[in-house]
């Protein structure tokens, strides 16, 4: 498939966005919004159509398209709204619809931490600073918004730069050859990854084995030294020992026993990336210190005031200072 149509869709969306950003009348703005939405919708349709889809995926795909439209539309509102507080509120909408997409991509843990950290913590900080540094009184109606919020700087060239980037990036989606084979390969590999993660969690592995058969005492390595053998039908075989007999026996685990998202993320966090985890802690600590240093009010005090704050007398009645002069 030639991505010419995709480039056209990008151009339409870019035109819409540029018109929204430019200072124009109400009607032009409305038309530009319709134009931009049409462009974005066309981009999404082309991207979906690039890879053939069976009927069984229409449900989650529809939900995802809905989330996509909500997040893109509110992202545009973030950068076009004249009142900063409203922009921040629209950003909350972007975060929430983004979290919905994460759930659809089965990244539940990250989805919830995204809502908690972004919508709960970071955005509140932004709102605090916005309220702190607000200039105009909070009247409704954008006519009295301050100049630097109303007039965009060079919208045309910025939009052109941005959408050339997206045309180049998005064009790569259409250059995928033989996507069906790739997907099949990925399916096998992804199941293998899941079982590999389970093999690194001995306690959970034992629990899963005991869910199948309560008499299992422990899971032992197989003859080739690995804990889990993955079979081609995405089930897996493990060796177990029962309390009553000593000889290890084979047991088949069904794919429903793969570890869930949260335990896999937690396991990867502490086994694969422990150094990054420590570094993240250091980064947070440094940011806290830096914020404290930055936010401290810097005042110029005279010598006497500084001495008073330090619990000393003024310069005039300090004999040691007078003698040293």
- Which residues in 3-42 contact another protein (CB under 8 A)? 17, 21, 40
Instruction: Please state the closest distance from residue 61 (CB atom) to another protein, in A.
Output: 6
Choices 177-185, 217-225, 239-247, 301-309; region in contact with another protein by CB under 8 A: 177-185
**DSSP code for 298:** -
Count of residues interacting with another protein (CB under 8 A): 114
Site for another protein in 256-315 (CB under 8 A): 256, 258, 260-261, 264-265, 267-269, 272-273, 276, 280, 283-284, 286-288, 290-291, 294-295
Q: Which two tokens stand for residue 50?
A: 């690039």
Indicate the residue among 116 and 249 with the shorter CB distance to another protein: 116
Rg of the chain, C-alpha, whole Å: 30
Instruction: Please state the closest distance from residue 284 (CB atom) to another protein, in A.
Output: 6
**Position 135 contacts another protein (CB under 8 A):** yes
Site for another protein in 36-75 (CB under 8 A): 40, 43-44, 47-54, 56-57, 60-61, 64-65, 67-68, 71-72, 75
The whole-angstrom separation of Cα 82 and Cα 98 is: 23
- Binding another protein (rule: CB under 8 A), the pick from 28, 34, 183, 237 is 183
Indicate the residue among 223 and 270 with the shorter CB distance to another protein: 270
- Binding another protein (rule: CB under 8 A), the pick from 29, 109, 200, 241 is 109
The whole-angstrom separation of Cα 76 and Cα 87 is: 9
**Position 205 contacts another protein (CB under 8 A):** no
**Position 251 contacts another protein (CB under 8 A):** no
315: left (phi over 0), alpha (psi -120 to 50) or beta: alpha
**What residues have CB less than 8 Å from 31, skipping those under 6 apart?**
19
Choices 86-94, 215-223, 305-313, 314-322; region in contact with another protein by CB under 8 A: 86-94
The whole-angstrom separation of Cα 61 and Cα 43 is: 15
- Binding another protein (rule: CB under 8 A), the pick from 38, 104, 206, 315 is 104
Q: How far, in Å, are 3, 215, 310 from residue 244 at the CA level? A: 65, 8, 77
| CB distance 222 to 199 below 8 Å | no
The whole-angstrom separation of Cα 313 and Cα 144 is: 52
**Position 2 contacts another protein (CB under 8 A):** no
- Binding another protein (rule: CB under 8 A), the pick from 35, 100, 191, 216 is 191
Instruction: Please state the closest distance from residue 239 (CB atom) to another protein, in A.
Output: 22
The whole-angstrom separation of Cα 156 and Cα 19 is: 8
Instruction: Please state the closest distance from residue 305 (CB atom) to another protein, in A.
Output: 20
- Binding another protein (rule: CB under 8 A), the pick from 33, 91, 204, 230 is 91
Q: Which residue has the tokens 């033989």?
A: 178
Q: Which helix (H) or strand (E) holds 282?
A: helix 274-295
Closest by CA position to 213, among listed 249, 171, 264:
249
Indicate the residue among 132 and 316 with the shorter CB distance to another protein: 132
**DSSP code for 259:** P
């Amino acid at each position: 498939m030639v991505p010419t149509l995709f480039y056209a869709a990008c151009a339409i969306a870019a035109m819409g966005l540029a018109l929204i950003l430019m200072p124009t009348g109400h009607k032009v703005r409305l038309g530009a919004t319709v134009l931009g939405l049409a462009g974005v919708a066309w981009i999404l349709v082309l991207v979906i159509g690039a890879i053939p889809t069976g009927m069984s995926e229409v449900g989650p795909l529809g939900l995802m398209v809905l989330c996509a439209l909500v997040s893109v539309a509110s992202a545009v509102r973030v950068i076009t709204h004249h009142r900063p507080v409203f922009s921040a509120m629209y950003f909350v909408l972007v975060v929430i619809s983004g979290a919905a997409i994460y759930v659809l991509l089965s990244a539940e843990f990250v989805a919830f931490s995204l809502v908690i950290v972004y919508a709960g913590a970071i955005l509140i900080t932004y709102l605090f600073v916005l309220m702190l540094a607000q200039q105009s009184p909070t009247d409704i109606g954008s006519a009295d918004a301050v100049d630097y919020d109303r007039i965009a700087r060079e919208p045309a060239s910025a939009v052109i730069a941005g959408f050339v980037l997206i045309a180049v990036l998005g064009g790569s989606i259409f250059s995928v050859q033989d996507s069906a084979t790739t997907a099949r390969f990925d399916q096998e590999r992804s199941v293998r990854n899941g079982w590999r993660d389970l093999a690194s969690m001995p306690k959970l592995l034992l629990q899963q084995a005991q869910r199948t058969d309560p008499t299992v005492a422990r899971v032992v390595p197989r003859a080739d030294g690995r804990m889990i053998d993955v079979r081609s039908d995405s089930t897996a075989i493990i060796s177990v020992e029962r309390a009553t007999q000593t000889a290890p026996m084979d047991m088949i685990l069904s794919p429903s026993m793969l570890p869930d998202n949260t335990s896999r993320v937690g396991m990867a966090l502490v086994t694969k990336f422990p150094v990054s985890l420590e570094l993240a802690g250091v980064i947070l600590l440094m940011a806290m210190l830096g914020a404290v240093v930055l936010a401290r009010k810097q005042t110029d005090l005279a010598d006497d005031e500084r001495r008073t704050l330090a619990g000393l007398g003024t310069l005039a009645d300090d004999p040691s200072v007078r003698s040293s002069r």
